[in-house]
Amino acid sequence: MSQPRRVPHCSHWGAYDLLVENDEIVGVEPSPLDPAPSPILRSVTAWLDPARRIKTPLVREGWLKARGRGGAGEGRGRERFVEVSWDQALALVNEEQARVREAHGPAAIFSGSYGWTSCGRFHHAQTLVKRWLNLAGGFTGHVDTYSYGAGPVILRHVLGGTDALTGRGTTLDAVARHAGTVVIVGALSGRTAQIEAGGLARRTLPRNIEALRKSGARIVHVSPLRDDVPADLGAEWWPIRPGTDAALLLGLAGEIVAAGREDADFLSRCTSGSELLLAHLRGEDDGRPKTAEWAAEITGLDAGAIRALARRFVETRSFVTLSWSLQRARFGEQPYWAGIALASVAGQIGLPGGGVGFGLGSTAGNGGPFGTGKAPSMTAGRNAIDSRIPVARICDMLENPGAPFTYEGETRPYPDVRMICWAGGNPFHHHQDLNRFARAWTRPETIVVQDPMFTATARRADIVLPASTSLERNDIAATSRSDSMIAMHRAVTPRWQARSDFEIFQELAERSGVREGFDEGLDEMGWLRRLYDESWAANRETLGVDGPSFDAFWEQGWCENPAREDHAYLAGFRADPEAEPLRTESGRIVLGSRTLAALAHDDCPAHAAWLAPEEWLGAPGAAERFHLVTQQPEGRLHSQLETGAASRDANKAHGREVATLNPGDAARLGVAEGDPVRLSNARGACLATARLSEAVRPGVAVLPTGAWWTPEAEGGLDLAGNPNVLTNDVPASAFSGGCAAYTCLVSVERASAPNQDAMARYDAEIAELVLAR
């Protein structure tokens, strides 16, 4: 009997070994380096599931017929596909790119192409599509991400950069060592810390949670969901009304100021515009002092507890961390700015283990050691044109060509997009208000989608290109939020007619006459060697450290990357603000903004403020409705491996997504555990299977993202439970244009629908879609 071959590999959900026999994966074993491997490893073989893979290049029938005659977009998602050869498919893509560029200019080609394609840094689809189009005339791209839009925009303005959000802020080990009070707003959870963009080998959240638990610090957890932190952390749960965190944080700051306990020295040395903020906290501008009672009324929390926490926040070393989710909301800038305001008023910023942080635990590496060297990555090159939108404004762009939009104080017109090239993302997973988005999606003349899987986005394309998965090619996993690089060996040969992302764009570059610039004469292994060697050359130069040779790294399967921990964000600035000024309008932390005062956006004022969103539990008529929390799914990464074992176990029941309700609410609705429920609002409706849990605040419903959109008919009831048929496609504000998925009210009722497997229905539908050649 032959032994299976052991192959090192990695995904965004961690490093692992694949056991391979006769070109099949027969086992998956977590990396021995990882103290907390992700259960999603159990789903990895679902990448090779024939029911869900795109097997050959495809072209939509109606598009082939109507090409150039317009109006053909109506057939997207309804019409069948014809199998074509790679040669035919790539010739069509190349002709369309050239036609649209010449007829309408390169800005008419949208290749924002957002998405979490494979963690490999070389076959990175989003980078490669841009690399091709940059060489071939340019394109309209995007800024920021769905993960964070409002957050980085306000942080750049207030703190002069995004380090505190991207994993280069105060680290959790320092918080555990020094802090006496820790306020966790949102989550600090192993659920999201399964994932790191680019993959990592060792998870550090479990040891930091353990250190925090043992530290004796008082831990207050502010969230509509109790299980957003591990039960053994010993945190006190404050079940806040969703979307009201800015009021809590301003109430805490207001109490500190009312008691005369603000750190006047810190405010005068290290901040600007504090007089504007303090006047707001005292109610001098609006007649409403920001007291504990004021905050309690909005948040649904206890005023006495808020006042006591405010006192403690100035009496001990204190740290407040806010999850990325907080800013994925209408006025999402405000809780972040209010967190900075609180930490500034208390004079905690820049002290060891004190101050404020963003997104700790939102991914595995954020709050853990961060890389100090260079992580290998492919480059997209430079765009010949300056055309881009805030990433989540895509539907507005498609609906309103030529209309103005604002971003960071600038006003620009939306481009008139005629062609979309999407590689490595799933907008019919990630975008809000999918029924509206599907209508806007009919407008472009040509849509090309490149993915291994027959996603809801691929179903709505004109030209579909089957990419291989990372299992079918060689790559390197690495990220600036980790202390390791991991070799991703090819485990199996490419399935069906799939080609690697690099090969596909190399061929397109050839047809556009820019191949030399695209591949620089190197093949896959040539590039991996080069990206790896370039990183260590940079590390030698900047840090004086060297790593193993590429061959030794490839053979061993991983290597250490220089990293540091025990970091206090802005310590140097605090010590000498003149010597280390921030890149803000004042060189200091901006608590009152001249820029925002001049912009006069009514949804992003000149100081941190609580603004009542259009949809929240305090809105008129909200009493009978639920605030919908569309959190990241426990058992998968977004929509990836939706039918895999981990996703089915953690997120599905009776063949559809699970929605969690408070038992009291469920009793009122006549809903029992396991019942089908219908969630709906004016934007859409979906089915889910009810789960009941005391860990959910009354008035809140939880439906994680990622179920594959399976509408009964286009625009109709979604059978799978994709929450983005319900979410609101509005900008966080005119300042950032960020995604506001978390601002959403829904109705919930018991559904009469029979229990039917939505995943099986999806598979049957795509099997019907393809006409064999």
Q: Hey, which residues are catalytic here?
A: 114, 116
Looking at beta carbons only, is 109 or 326 nearer to ligand MGD?
Answer: 326
Is 327 an interacting residue with respect to Mo ion (CB under 5 A)? Answer: no
Q: Which does 198 bind (CB under 5 to 8 A by kind): ligand MGD, Mo ion, none?
A: none
Looking at beta carbons only, is 385 or 619 nearer to ligand MGD?
Answer: 619
Smallest gap from residue 116 Cβ to Mo ion (A): 7
Residue among 113, 147, 651, 736 that touches Mo ion (CB under 5 A): 147
Alpha-carbon span 299 to 302, nearest angstrom = 9
Q: What is the C-alpha R_g of the chain?
A: 26
Looking at beta carbons only, is 59 or 741 nearer to ligand MGD?
Answer: 741
Q: Which does 425 bind (CB under 5 to 8 A by kind): ligand MGD, Mo ion, none?
A: ligand MGD
First to last CA, the chain: 41
Alpha-carbon span 205 to 208, nearest angstrom = 5
Q: Is the dihedral of CA 298, 300, 304, 307 positive or negative?
A: negative
Contact set with ligand MGD (CB under 6 A): 115-118, 123, 125, 146-147, 185-187, 191-192, 194-195, 222-225, 228, 240, 242-243, 245, 323-326, 328, 362-363, 423-426, 429-430, 450-453, 455, 467, 469-470, 501, 629-634, 637-640, 705, 723-724, 727, 741-742
Smallest gap from residue 188 Cβ to Mo ion (A): 17
DSSP assignment string, 662-714:
-HHHHHHHT--TT-EEEEEETTEEEEEEEEE-TTB-TTEEE--S-PPP-BSST
Looking at beta carbons only, is 233 or 538 nearer to ligand MGD?
Answer: 233
Smallest gap from residue 375 Cβ to ligand MGD (A): 18
Looking at beta carbons only, is 115 or 494 nearer to ligand MGD?
Answer: 115
- Mapping DSSP to helix (H, G, I), strand (E, B) and coil, where does residue 304 land? helix
Smallest gap from residue 118 Cβ to Mo ion (A): 15
Looking at beta carbons only, is 539 or 736 nearer to ligand MGD?
Answer: 736
Q: Which does 371 bind (CB under 5 to 8 A by kind): Mo ion, ligand MGD, none?
A: none
Mask for 101-140, x = binds Mo ion (CB under 5 A)? ----------------------------------------
From 1-9, 72-80, 143-151, 431-439, give the range in contact with Mo ion by CB under 5 A: 143-151
What type of residue sits at position 694? E
Q: For the chain, what's the residue count?
A: 773
Q: Which does 126 bind (CB under 5 to 8 A by kind): Mo ion, ligand MGD, none?
A: none
From 147-155, 216-224, 310-318, 529-537, give the range in contact with Mo ion by CB under 5 A: 147-155
Alpha-carbon span 537 to 560, nearest angstrom = 15
Alpha-carbon span 574 to 58, nearest angstrom = 58
DSSP assignment string, 420-488:
EEEES--HHHHSSSHHHHHHHTTSSSEEEEEESB--HHHHT-SEEEEBPPGGGS-EEE--TT-SEEEEE
Return the bridge partners of 628, or none: 701
Q: Which does 391 bind (CB under 5 to 8 A by kind): ligand MGD, Mo ion, none?
A: none
DSSP assignment string, 26-55:
EEEEE-TT-SS--GGGGGGGGGG-TTTB--
Q: Which does 608 bind (CB under 5 to 8 A by kind): Mo ion, ligand MGD, none?
A: none
Is 204 an interacting residue with respect to Mo ion (CB under 5 A)? Answer: no
Looking at beta carbons only, is 274 or 728 nearer to ligand MGD?
Answer: 728
Residue with tokens 């990372």: 470
Residue 725 near residue 744, CB atoms below 8 Å: no
Smallest gap from residue 688 Cβ to Mo ion (A): 22
Q: Rounded to 5 degrees, what are φ and ψ at 172?
A: -65, -30
Residue 259 near residue 292, CB atoms below 8 Å: no
Is 362 an interacting residue with respect to Mo ion (CB under 5 A)? Answer: no
Residues that bind Mo ion (CB under 5 A): 147
